[in-house]
Amino acid sequence: MPFCKECGSALEDDAKYCTVCGTRRTDNVASLHFPSDKVGLKEEQSKDVTSSVSSESERGPSCWSANNTTLSYDFGSADKSDSPKKKNEARIAFIFIILTALVVISAIVYIIASVGGNASSNDSVLGFYSAQKAETNGKSINAKSLWEKGFTIELKGNGKAVIIVDGNPSSAKWTLKGDQFKIIGSSFDCNGILSNEILILENVLDTGVTLYFVKSDAEQPSMPKQSPMPTPSPTLTPTPMPKPVAITNGKVLRSISYKGQCPFKVSAPGGSGGYFVFLKYLRAPSNSKEQRVVKSSFSPPYKSDVVFYVAAGQSVEIDVPVGVYQFFYACGETWYGEKLKFGEETRFYASDDVLVFYSDGDYYQGHSITLWKQENGNFDTDEISESSFPD
């Protein structure tokens, strides 16, 4: 005899439902399970439940009757995965997956936009840059004096570059962050600045040379694809170095309008180089019995200044006309003539006091000066600017 798999009651051989609990019959196991917490009551259920089934038509998968109280149930409610807790966990997991996907997509879009923005912002700097000027040791020279066939850099997209030195091309990579530029090749690694179509590279090829490049939109002759050369940009012509001028110790560089009578001696310290001495005439001495007589046809400065050259380690003795003078001198290593003197390295000095050369009728008063510091010295000089030195 078959039994109900739910309540254990005996069943008729041909019964399809349990007459006690209303469970549908199966051959092996009960196919439906109705826990008390899964059954929804439309009305309050009595504590003593006895079922009376009048016919099979009143029983079925949708409802069953017990003491005129109708109970409804859902076959799917027996699945534990549909519990509120499980459903909430599934919703949370789904939301988390969606949010994670949104974050990943946003990051990808940002990276693509950043790369695209950098590429587009660097598009304006692509092209050829030709070296125009080189600087080394503070001096400017034409770049072609270093590389006969020129020095050219072609900046391409995707950070690629071609470096052409004296007609020999080589590949390289470049980056640009703001105006900070860097280029690296097989034997080339330089940092610099790229701004307003001017590229400045420092210590090029480890030579200590700083190169200035100017952008040119046309291809260079050394490239495989050639096009007519554009009108060359003006280049800076370096100032030629002056040529040294030979000069001897005691050489008088300005002729004197009046006869020299007062002795004057200047001694220079040893070493190399020389000294350009300049006595600037100011006026006639008030205590001299010999007064200057200047013809009205003469015009200032009457060529009364006394100018001569003293070599290092030498002395010069010369006769100076009566008068009051201020003492100036310039010094340096190499003499380039009275206009340039000792070139850029020239240093200029002037005395604090004046020198008075005069005659009292019996003798002529003169002076002797040493151009190095001495203990208890009585004639001070100070360094001055070139503009303060007399012509």
User: Which residues, 6 or more positions from 350, have their beta carbon under 8 angstroms from its beta carbon?
Assistant: 326, 327, 328, 381, 382, 384, 388, 389
Closest CA to 229 of 130, 155, 153, 154: 130
Between CA 172 and CA 178 the distance in angstroms is 20
Q: Which residues of the chain have pLDDT under 70?
A: 1, 27-87, 110-122, 217-239, 257, 287-303
Between CA 240 and CA 37 the distance in angstroms is 106
CA–CA distances in Å: residue 4 to residues 39, 52, 53: 19, 16, 16
Residue 250's pLDDT is what?
Answer: 93
- State the amino acid at position 94 in one-letter form: F
- State the amino acid at position 78 in one-letter form: A
Residue 78's pLDDT is what?
Answer: 43
**Are 368 and 377 contacting, i.e. CB atoms less than 8 angstroms apart?**
no
Residue 389's pLDDT is what?
Answer: 96
Structure tokens at 90: 């599934």
Residue 113's pLDDT is what?
Answer: 55
Structure tokens at 56: 């099979």
Between CA 111 and CA 121 the distance in angstroms is 15
User: Which residues, 6 or more positions from 13, have their beta carbon under 8 angstroms from its beta carbon?
Assistant: 1, 2
